[in-house]
Every structure is written in structure tokens, then in C-alpha cells.
């Protein structure tokens, strides 16, 4: 799907605003990211972040001491994400993470970056003090950065579902699908994911692929996911899904699939691949090769982190049973599918899509409400999870092969 030429009609104000980065991308938040590079540095990094409660200082990190190309790529993408304005790396000192490579990549992106190595700095207390001082300096530098006009085709929106039940696939998910269609029509890139939750939908998706070769790649990606989960002995299906009225993996899949809307599928990407243009993309989250490192995504936030690593500025999270999570680095908009859940957890929710079940609204109306909310959140409005202080983050081990030539039939942007 070609990008509209950048003719921001001068008679209309820009639909969005963002923070301009040296690479030309724009962020909708201006965050100082504090990253631990092994679990052994997690506490010190966390203590730095906790000194800035209520300020845009977010904790991310990777717990493993063993090197992993996937985690390396995801960390590089996260710390050069357009929502990130400055980066503090906290290292123990003896871990294998390539901190110098990461630091160099962040520096090359034009962001302030600083690395503190606990073993060299003299322990917990000294590192903490230096970390706090640096973050205070970095925050001051970001404080006066103005927002500049931003177009829809500069926005990347992701969707996930979590705590799905029988309402998800008939209210929130198709409403997000309508929102995706509108956003894509405006030029945005939209990403849906979890090939393991699309088992049973592969031939439907194949028919929507931009080219036959891409369609074949999608079918293969879902077959890979089905094999992977079969080896592990579990589908992507939790007991709460069944309590909520879902009976089988393919039923859950069909409901999840409704989030993708009706647009053609422009590409199949893997974690850390940034969509080259507007359109609809499927994120393949299931590792390649033999089954290693356990379940592909042990919880919803692992998927959100991968979507952010693909450049997503914000995530539309549909939930039936009622998830309360947010995320570090990028806002999460909670679309509640189930009217009973909304009544219980209203403070944690942004959109009441369950009213569709009682005939109080239609899919188009809720879809339009979601688009309007995306626009105001992109302008700085806090989501429910942001205002409650949610900043979940999780990153584990995986192994991927690079995507093949058929996966992005559209030309890559510069």
C-alpha cells in the first residue's frame, strides 16, 4: 500500500503532534528510558526510576546473562524508539550484553546516552547516585522540547488482545478492526500479531495478502506457530478464555483475527522490523527453528514489547476478562469487550465496547471512538493505565531468522 505523498494540506491543522527525532521519526511521548542489561543490574536501575515517580522515566531491560541476537535487536529498537528521548544503561559489568554496541547505536541516533557499570562505579549506592543525577540532567534537557506537527502516515498503531472471552470477538475486536481500517485509510501503519492466536485463520489471511508470495509466507508462519505450540503441549489458550465462553483455539483465533479489520495485508514482519510504509502488517512472534527457550510469549506484555520494538507508538489492547496492564515506553489504550467487566474495572478501561452487546452502540460508533482516542492520546492525553502508573515490561530469549524477500512486497522507505 503506497504512502500518500507528504502534502499536509496547509488549510487544515496537523492531525497529530509529536517530538521530532534526528532520524525523522516523531514520538508521541518524550521518555527517559533506564535499561538494565542483566537481572543483576535490575534493582539499581529500578531504584533510579523510582526516584522519579510521576515523571516520564521508564524502566526496561533484559534479565539474561547469556547473549541473544533477538534481545539485542529488540533493545536497540526500543532505545531508539521515537517515544524515547534519552537513555541510561545500567550494567553490572560481567554480563554478555553488548552494551558498547547498544550505547553506540543510541548515540548515533542523536539521543543523549550514558552507561553506568556497577562494578566500576563502586557499587549500588554510588551507581544509584550517579544514575539519579544523570536522569535529572536528561529530563531537564527534554523538558522544553516542543511538539511539532505530525501526520497520520507517521503513526504506527499496534493491537493485542489479552484475557479474551466470548465477548472479545463480537465487540472490542471487530471495533478495533474498524478503527484499523480508518487509520490505514489515513496512511498509518497498523500491526496485529500472535500467529499462534491465528491458528485456523491462515487461509482467510492468505486471501487478504498483497501478493500470492506473501500469502504463502503467512500460511507457513501460522503452520510454524501450530507446530511450535503442539510441541509445547499448549495452545495460546488460558483457562479464563474457557470460563468466558471460548471453547477452542480456533474459536479464540477467529475472534482475535477480527482486530485486523478488512484492509489488505501489506507485509509479514518479525520483532524489531519497522513497517516501511503505511498499511496493515502481521507480526510473526513465534521463533524460527527447533523449539527453544520455552513459550513464545509468556504473557501479554511480551507481545506489547515486540510491537513497540516494531515502532508502534501506542497499542490498542482488547480485553474481555479484564487485563489492567499498561506498558513502558508507549501508551496502551484498553478497549473492554465485556460489559460486566467494564462495570467492575471501569477505572482501568478507556473504551466500553461491551455496550455493543446491549445494543447501546454499533461497531462503527465504537470504532470511531477508538480513532478519536488514538488521536488525543497521540497528542498527550493520558490513558487509564498511564494515569494509574502502569509501566509493565518483559523481554526474554528467542531465536529468529530474518524475514524473507516475499514478506515485504512494498518497497522499503528510506
Q: How far is the CB of 296 from other proteins (least distance, A)?
A: 14
Single residue of 75, 161, 191, 254 touching other proteins by CB under 8 A: 254
Stretch that binds other proteins, among 28-36, 139-147, 244-252, 326-334 (CB under 8 A): 244-252
Q: Report CA dihedral (258, 263, 267, 268) to the nearest 10 degrees.
A: 10
Size of interface with other proteins, in residues (CB under 8 A): 40
Pairing between β-strand 148-150 and β-strand 16-20 as defined by DSSP bridges: antiparallel
Residue closer to other proteins by CB (options 138, 366) is 366
Q: How far is the CB of 221 from other proteins (least distance, A)?
A: 15
Q: Decide if residue 256 touches other proteins (CB under 8 A).
A: no
Single residue of 39, 251, 288, 365 touching other proteins by CB under 8 A: 251
CA–CA dist 194, 253 (Å, integer): 9
Q: Decide if residue 128 touches other proteins (CB under 8 A).
A: no
Q: Decide if residue 136 touches other proteins (CB under 8 A).
A: no
Burial class (CB in 10 A: 0-12, 13-18, 19+), 66: exposed
Single residue of 61, 82, 163, 166 touching other proteins by CB under 8 A: 166
Task: Take residue 188 and report the three cell numbers written for it.
Answer: 498509518
Q: How far is the CB of 171 from other proteins (least distance, A)?
A: 8
Single residue of 27, 177, 235, 275 touching other proteins by CB under 8 A: 235
Q: Decide if residue 250 touches other proteins (CB under 8 A).
A: yes
Single residue of 362, 380, 404, 413 touching other proteins by CB under 8 A: 362
Q: Decide if residue 205 touches other proteins (CB under 8 A).
A: no
Single residue of 234, 292, 344, 381 touching other proteins by CB under 8 A: 234
Residue closer to other proteins by CB (options 226, 373) is 226
Residue window 183-202: x/- pattern of binding to other proteins, with contact defined by CB under 8 A? ----------------xxx-
Partners of 114 in the β-ladder:
88
Single residue of 206, 248, 299, 375 touching other proteins by CB under 8 A: 248
Conformation bin of residue 335: beta by default, left when phi > 0, alpha when psi is -120 to 50: beta
Residue closer to other proteins by CB (options 64, 245) is 245
Q: Decide if residue 355 touches other proteins (CB under 8 A).
A: no
Q: Decide if residue 291 touches other proteins (CB under 8 A).
A: no
Say which residue the cell 504506527 belongs to. 156
CA–CA dist 118, 91 (Å, integer): 6
Are the beta carbons of 199 and 225 closer than 8 angstroms?
yes
CA–CA dist 162, 141 (Å, integer): 37
Q: What angle do CA 212, 214, 217 make, to 5 degrees?
A: 115
CA–CA dist 128, 121 (Å, integer): 10
What one-character-per-residue DSSP string does 68-111 give?
A: -HHHHHHHHHHHT-TTEEEEEEEE-SSS-S-HHHHHHHHHHTT-
Are the beta carbons of 386 and 379 closer than 8 angstroms?
no
Are the beta carbons of 76 and 51 closer than 8 angstroms?
no
Q: How far is the CB of 257 from other proteins (least distance, A)?
A: 9
Q: How far is CA 71 from CA 57, 197, 296, 305, 404, in A?
A: 21, 22, 13, 11, 20
Q: Decide if residue 367 touches other proteins (CB under 8 A).
A: no
Residue closer to other proteins by CB (options 17, 206) is 206
List residues binding other proteins (CB under 8 A).
165-167, 169-171, 174, 199-201, 204, 226, 229-230, 234-235, 237-239, 242-245, 247-251, 254-255, 258, 320, 338, 340, 356-359, 362-363
Amino acid at each position: 500500500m503506497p504512502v500518500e505523498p507528504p502534502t499536509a494540506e496547509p488549510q487544515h491543522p496537523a492531525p497529530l503532534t509529536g517530538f521530532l527525532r534526528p532520524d525523522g521519526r516523531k514520538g508521541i511521548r518524550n521518555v527517559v528510558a533506564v535499561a538494565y542489561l542483566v537481572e543483576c543490574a535490575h534493582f539499581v536501575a529500578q531504584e533510579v526510576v523510582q526516584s522519579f515517580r510521576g515523571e516520564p522515566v521508564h524502566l526496561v531491560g533484559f534479565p539474561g546473562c547469556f547473549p541473544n541476537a533477538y534481545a539485542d535487536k529488540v533493545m536497540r529498537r526500543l532505545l531508539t524508539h521515537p517515544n524515547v528521548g534519552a537513555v541510561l544503561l545500567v550494567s553490572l559489568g560481567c554480563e554478555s550484553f553488548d552494551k558498547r554496541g547498544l550505547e553506540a547505536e543510541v548515540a548515533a541516533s542523536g539521543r543523549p546516552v550514558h552507561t553506568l557499570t556497577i562494578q566500576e562505579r563502586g557499587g549500588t549506592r554510588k551507581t544509584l547516585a550517579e544514575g539519579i543525577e544523570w536522569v535529572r540532567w536528561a529530563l531537564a534537557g527534554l523538558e522544553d522540547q516542543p511538539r511539532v506537527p505530525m501526520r497520520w502516515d507517521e503513526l504506527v498503531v499496534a493491537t493485542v488482545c489479552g484475557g479474551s472471552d466470548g465477548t472479545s470477538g463480537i465487540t472490542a475486536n471487530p471495533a478495533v478492526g474498524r478503527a484499523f481500517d480508518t487509520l490505514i485509510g489515513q496512511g498509518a501503519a497498523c500491526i496485529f500479531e500472535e500467529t499462534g492466536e491465528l491458528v485456523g485463520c491462515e487461509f482467510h489471511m492468505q486471501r487478504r495478502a498483497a501478493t500470492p508470495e506473501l500469502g504463502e509466507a503467512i500460511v507457513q508462519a501460522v503452520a510454524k506457530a501450530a507446530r511450535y505450540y503442539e510441541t509445547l503441549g499448549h495452545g495460546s489458550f488460558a483457562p479464563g478464555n474457557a470460563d468466558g465462553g471460548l471453547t477452542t483455539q480456533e474459536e479464540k483465533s477467529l475472534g482475535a483475527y477480527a482486530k485486523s479489520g478488512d484492509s489488505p495485508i501489506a507485509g509479514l514482519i518479525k520483532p524489531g522490523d519497522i513497517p516501511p510504509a503505511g498499511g496493515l502488517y502481521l507480526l510473526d512472534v513465534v521463533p524460527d527453528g527447533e523449539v527453544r527457550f520455552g513459550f513464545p510469549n509468556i504473557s501479554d506484555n511480551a507481545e506489547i514489547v515486540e510491537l513497540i520494538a516494531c515502532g508502534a507508538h501506542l497499542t490498542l489492547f482488547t480485553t474481555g476478562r479484564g487485563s489492567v496492564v499498561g506498558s513502558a515506553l508507549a501508551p496502551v489504550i484498553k478497549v473492554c469487550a465485556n460489559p460486566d467487566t467494564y462495570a467492575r474495572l471501569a477505572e482501568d478501561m478507556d473504551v466500553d465496547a461491551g455496550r455493543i452487546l446491549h445494543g447501546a452502540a454499533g461497531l462503527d460508533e465504537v470504532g470511531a471512538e477508538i480513532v478519536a482516542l488514538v488521536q488525543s492520546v497521540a497528542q498527550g492525553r493520558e490513558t487509564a493505565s498511564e494515569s494509574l502508573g502502569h509501566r509493565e515490561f518483559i523481554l526474554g530469549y528467542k531465536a529468529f531468522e530474518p524475514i524473507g524477500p516475499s514478506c515485504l512486497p512494498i518497497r522499503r522507505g528510506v
